[in-house]
Amino acid sequence: MTETRATPDGRSSRWDEHRQARRAELVEATLGAIRTHGAAVGMDEVAAAAGTSKTVFYRHFTDRAGLWTAVADRVDGTIARGLTRAADSPVGAAGAGSPRSRVRAVIAAYLHLVETDPEVYRFIVTAPLLPPGERPNGDVAAGLTDRIAGHVADLVGHGLGGAGGASPTPRLWGVAVVGMVRATADAWLAAGGAAGGQSSDELADDLTTLVWDGLGSLSLPSASRATDRA
């Protein structure tokens, strides 16, 4: 008996490609709406930016949570590429290419992305688009933070001469660095960002000192030092 193999349905493949392309277009339109209207953008504004209806968005993403996830994945990819480029080509003549400069480059790249796209960043980490019934429990951006932490663990582990997956330590470093930088970025944005008196580069320098050298290396007020000795 001769075995017959099913012929791939070209129409189905073309439809899948069309759907993926359309989803990508809708995600880009959503990002444009966020940049125009702010992190608290509503679905009406998102649909208007795409020149379509909310029904079309729900057809492609099921609900607002699905759209938020697609946008978060898109931003995740942008952050990962930015961190990789920064780690591969750290700037600054002094110590360029050293593990410390690699850490500084990764921190600066994260802060730069936050600074240049603050409304998109707020949209991801606070998810105002999602009503209470559609929000996940706990930190809404925990998945994104965890993926970036893994990426940073690989970059930092490689910079220190080890592989990120070889032991749990670099992974914990990645989580610690990303958690600290994210919390600092949130507070920095709330204080006005660079307009608040500290540039992203200056903040990156301070955070790198804290990560690399520890609290003891920072210039603390004399009163604080006296309290520590008491």
pLDDT tens digits, the chain, 230 residues: what are they? 455 555 556 667 777 788 899 999 999 999 999 999 999 999 999 999 999 999 999 999 999 999 999 999 999 888 888 888 887 765 554 455 677 888 888 889 889 988 999 999 999 888 889 887 777 666 777 777 777 877 777 776 665 555 444 556 767 777 788 888 889 999 999 899 888 889 999 999 999 998 888 766 655 554 444 444 44
Contact at 8 Å (CB) between 147 and 76?
Answer: yes
* Domain-embedded: residue 104: yes
State the amino acid at position 221 in one-letter form. P
* Domain-embedded: residue 191: yes
Contact at 8 Å (CB) between 75 and 124?
Answer: yes
Q: What CATH number is attached to the domain comprising 106?
A: 1.10.357.10
Contact at 8 Å (CB) between 208 and 107?
Answer: yes
Contact at 8 Å (CB) between 177 and 186?
Answer: no
* Domain-embedded: residue 168: yes
* Domain-embedded: residue 6: no
Residue with tokens 């480029």: 85
Q: Quick one: how many helices (H) and strands (E) in the chain?
A: 10, 0
Q: How far apart are CA 70 and CA 168, in angstroms?
A: 29
Residue with tokens 């697609």: 70
Which among 46, 52, 51 has a CA at the least distance from the CA of 68?
46
Whole-model pTM over 0.85: no
Domain count along the chain: 1
Question: Which ranges of 38-63 does DSSP label H, i.e. alpha helix?
Answer: 43-50, 54-61
* Domain-embedded: residue 95: yes
Domain of 187? 63-217
Residue 197 — left, alpha, or beta (φ > 0 → left; ψ -120 to 50 → alpha)?
Answer: left
* Domain-embedded: residue 68: yes
* Domain-embedded: residue 75: yes
Distances (CA, A) of 55 to 122, 132, 139: 25, 21, 28
Contact at 8 Å (CB) between 184 and 125?
Answer: no
* Domain-embedded: residue 21: no
Which among 20, 124, 148 has a CA at the least distance from the CA of 71?
124
**Phi and psi, residue 46, nearest 5°:** -65, -45
Q: How far apart are CA 28 and CA 160, in angstroms?
A: 37
